[in-house]
Amino acid sequence: MKKILIAIAVTSTLAITQGCASQIKSEPSTQTQASASTVDDPNNNSNHHAGHETRDITSKENSQQGHSGHDNHGGHGNSQNSKAANAAANLSIDGSLTPKNPVNLVIDVKDKSGKAISNFDISHEELMHLIVVSDDLQFFNHIHPTYKGNGRFEIKTAFPKPGNYTLFTDYKPAGKPQEVSVLKAQVPGQISTVPTQVDTTSSKNIGNTKVNFNLSQPVKADEEVHLVFNLQDAKNNQPIKDLQPYLGELGHLVIVKQSSSLTSSDYIHNHAMKDTPGEVHFMTAFPEPGKYKLWGQFKRNGEILTADFWVNVQ
């Protein structure tokens, strides 16, 4: 069987090195694991990312730079990218990967030499943040695996329908920069071929809360942008004044670029920089032109509100 290296498909400035790519090969529904820096190409064909088997690509540093966008474009994406990843994650799935069936995700985090990383810093109240999206970006889930020690995290979760899923694991090895490792899972079955709807709604009602998201001007790639979410009471349109902190912030924003094969450079995780009553502000930058989906997350009355919007970046 031919082996290929998984490369990270990326923005133009990313230096791809062998250190950036890594491992895994495991059938989605089995518990086998591998941890070489190559992957068996199940189709024995060329290197377009080894199809969509469960696999792991690892990541670049940081994603939670959050608050102002700084020098690395809002968190994560394309500029501090000449550094190779310092860690990698491996996914194995315990259970039958069928739609809506809860399975146990087992995520092992290792350092560059393949040794388990056992100490992590808490970041936004958790040791690991796991963002699961379907590759058509219609499904989004933000969950927190439990740390089991010796580099291993576990969580039970379900995938809604057949298709390919990308799992962004966001964690911080103790004393080291934030890491994002990308994992893949495939739920077998008839995959819808309907093209993703890019819905341009700028207002969503989530329970009793109306979330409005308007861009005052076209968004250009690589420019810092100020994103404002306007939250109103759905009944009377009054500004919401009772938002609660969610994971230590007034809002979290996850952004994923539409792509045929999602990588860590398609993922941005931002935190609210300020809020005025009824408004939550974020600063970010979109690394490349394209369509991006945004999920703003806020907490009110003890419930997490997730509001999704699309942004077209020129």
- Does residue 129 touch Cu ion according to CB under 5 A? yes
Nearer to Cu ion among residue 6 and residue 243 (C-beta): 243
Q: What minimum distance in Å lies between the beta carbon of 189 and Cu ion?
A: 28
Nearer to Cu ion among residue 53 and residue 179 (C-beta): 179
Q: What minimum distance in Å lies between the beta carbon of 31 and Cu ion?
A: 26
Q: What minimum distance in Å lies between the beta carbon of 190 and Cu ion?
A: 32
Nearer to Cu ion among residue 26 and residue 264 (C-beta): 264
Contact range with Cu ion by CB under 5 A, out of 25-33, 108-116, 126-134, 236-244: 126-134
Residue nearest Cu ion, CB atom distance: 129
Nearer to Cu ion among residue 171 and residue 286 (C-beta): 171
H or E, element range at 116? none
Closest CA to 24 of 34, 32, 16, 15: 34
Q: What minimum distance in Å lies between the beta carbon of 247 and Cu ion?
A: 6
Q: What minimum distance in Å lies between the beta carbon of 254 and Cu ion?
A: 9
Nearer to Cu ion among residue 28 and residue 145 (C-beta): 145
Closest CA to 306 of 206, 232, 213, 189: 206
Contact range with Cu ion by CB under 5 A, out of 10-18, 128-136, 145-153, 186-194: 128-136
Contact map string, positions 4 to 33, toward Cu ion, x by CB under 5 A: ------------------------------
Nearer to Cu ion among residue 129 and residue 293 (C-beta): 129
Nearer to Cu ion among residue 11 and residue 169 (C-beta): 169
Q: What minimum distance in Å lies between the beta carbon of 124 and Cu ion?
A: 6
Q: Residue 120's beta-bridge partner residues?
A: 173
Cα–Cα distance measured from residue 255 to residue 143, given in angstroms and rounded to the nearest whole number: 16
Number of residues that bind Cu ion (CB under 5 A): 1
Q: Which residue has the tokens 């997730």?
A: 306
Closest CA to 128 of 181, 58, 67, 60: 181
Contact range with Cu ion by CB under 5 A, out of 125-133, 155-163, 232-240, 302-310: 125-133
* 9 within 8 A of 57, measured Cβ to Cβ: no
Q: What minimum distance in Å lies between the beta carbon of 248 and Cu ion?
A: 10
Which DSSP state fits 266?
Answer: G
Nearer to Cu ion among residue 55 and residue 129 (C-beta): 129
Contact range with Cu ion by CB under 5 A, out of 5-13, 50-58, 97-105, 121-129: 121-129
Q: What minimum distance in Å lies between the beta carbon of 131 and Cu ion?
A: 8
Q: Contact positions toward Cu ion, by CB under 5 A?
A: 129
